[in-house]
Amino acid sequence: MEGVCGAGTDGKYCPRCKLAYPSALSECPRCTDLSDAEAAKMGQQVKTELVKVNSSMARKFLFLTITGVVVFLFIYGLPF
């Protein structure tokens, strides 16, 4: 999950919430005030939300691709 929450390629991962944060910081800014259990739960919720967003985006791109192919076939004629 490189680049999560703006860490970029020079980021490091928090051992508590398992999310990336900029290496310029000494500790993770998201879970500093949370217990270990709360930090782990928060990290899992963020990852779950990212999966939902990525899945939704993938479905939209698939729909656009299929629509584009259909339009192309109607414009240039069906091959059969």
Tell me the pLDDT tens digit for each residue of 38-78. Answer: 988 998 999 999 999 999 999 999 999 999 999 998 888 87
Residue 1's pLDDT is what?
45
Instruction: Give the tens place of pLDDT for each residue, 9-31.
Output: 577 888 989 888 898 888 888 88
Tell me the residue range of the domain where 58 lies: 4-76
Q: Cα Rg for the chain, rounded, in angstroms?
A: 20
Per DSSP, 12 falls in state E
Residue 23 CA to residue 33 CA, distance in Å, equals 19
Report the number of distinct structural domains present in the chain.
Answer: 1
Residue 3's pLDDT is what?
46
What percent of the chain shows pLDDT beyond 70? 85
